[in-house]
A and B are shown apart, each in its own frame.
Chain A
Amino acid sequence: QSVLTQPPSASGTPGQRVTVSCSGGSSNIGSNTVNWYQQLPGTAPKLLIYSNNQRPSGVPDRFSGSKSGTSASLAISGLQSEDEADYYCGARDDSLNGWVFGGGTKLTVL
C-alpha cells in the first residue's frame, strides 16, 4: 500500500468540478510541499501542480491545489473529456529520506 492515501476513482460530467484528496502524515505532507502529477492513458506522468498550489506554465487554471495539515487536494473545475487520466499526489518524506506517492486516482469523465 502507498504511503499517501488517495481514492482509487473519481468521476464527473463535463463542466463539473471534482476534487481528489490525498492524505499523509507528519513526515511527508505535514512537513513538505505536495505535488500533483497527471498521467494520461499510455503516457508518462506530467507535473500538474507543484509546491501545494503552483501551476507550471501551460497548465490551465482549471486545475488548482491546496494543502492543510497532513492532507492535500486537487480540484478540477470545468471538467473536460481530455482530463480523463490518473492523478497522483507526491511529496518528500523526511523519515524515509525519499519521495512517496499516493496510489493514484483514476478520473472518469462521464
Chain B
Amino acid sequence: EVQLVESGGGLVQPGRSLRLSCAASGFKFDDYAMHWVRQAPGKGLEWVSGISWNSGSKGYADSVKGRFTISRDNAKNSLYLQMNSLRAEDTALYYCAKGSGTYLRGYFDYWGQGTLLTVSS
C-alpha cells in the first residue's frame, strides 16, 4: 500500500524559513517523480514543485520560484521542500504527491494527508 506522510508544517513568521518532509513507502521510491501541491484554506489546488526520479529535473510554480527548493533522498525514501522568505500567501495545506512516471510528466496518482503551514506574525 502506497503511503505518503508529510511533516514539518507549523506556524512561522513572514520572511522566515521552514522545511517540509514527506516519507514514502509501499512503492519503489526511486522509480517515480514526486511533487508538492498546496491548498490554501477554502481554496483550490495549486501545484508547487516537482522533481524527477534522479533529481535531474526540477520544476517550480512561478509563485514560489527562487524561494522554494525541492529535493529528495532516494536512500531514505524521502521528499523535501525547503521554503525561504515565506509570505502570508504561502499559508496552505501542503500535499506530497507521487508522480505517475519517472520524469516530470503525467499525473498525481497518490497523495498524502498534508501538513499545514501558517505564515503569520
B partners with A: yes
* Contact indicator B44/A35 (Cβ below 8 Å): no
Interface size classification for chain A: 20 to 34
Specify which chain B residues have a CB less than 8 angstroms from the CB of A88 in the assembled complex: 44-45
Most buried by A among B35, B44, B108, B114: B44
The answer for the CA separation of A77 and B106 in the assembled complex, in Å, is 26
* Contact indicator A98/B50 (Cβ below 8 Å): yes
Interface size of B in residues (CB-CB distance below 8 Å): 23
Residue ID in chain B nearest A50 by CB atoms: B107
Partner of B46, one of A50, A51, A101: A101
Partner of A97, one of B59, B107, B111, B112: B59
Specify which chain A residues have a CB less than 8 angstroms from the CB of B37 in the assembled complex: 45, 99
Specify which chain B residues have a CB less than 8 angstroms from the CB of A92 in the assembled complex: 105-106
**New contact pairs (15) apart from A45-B111, A98-B50, A99-B37, CB-CB < 8 Å:** A33-B107, A35-B107, A43-B113, A44-B95, A45-B37, A45-B108, A46-B111, A47-B110, A47-B111, A50-B100, A88-B44, A88-B45, A92-B105, A101-B45, A102-B44
